[in-house]
Amino acid sequence: MSLFWDILSSMGGAGGVSAGAAGDIGGQVAGGQGIFGVMAAGFATITDGKMWRSLGWLLLGLIVFSFGINLWLHNPVGRALGDVGKLL
């Protein structure tokens, strides 16, 4: 097994039962509330406008960066000036 599964099983996860938790229904209910808490936090994250605004700025930055790299590699202005220089 991998290190991740060893750590998870030592915490009582991955289908294992932690010591003293056999027959503890309260632990199962608390685990269910934890799942709903994670779902609520995920929904709050998805509906967070500030996160989407930040991702928008990152996307815009990647687009501008890609455009700049493309311009730098293909350099149409340099080619045009080179053609004009050949004419003179």
pLDDT of 35-83, one tens digit each?
887 888 888 888 888 889 999 999 999 999 999 888 888 877 767 666 6
30-33-34 Cα angle (round to 5): 90
Displacement of CA 46 from its chain's centroid (Å): 12
pLDDT tens column, 4-47: 667 666 766 545 445 454 454 445 545 556 788 788 888 888 88
**pLDDT for position 56:** 95
> What is the residue extent of each domain of the chain?
25-87
**pLDDT for position 17:** 47
User: CB–CB of 9/16 below 8 Å?
Assistant: yes
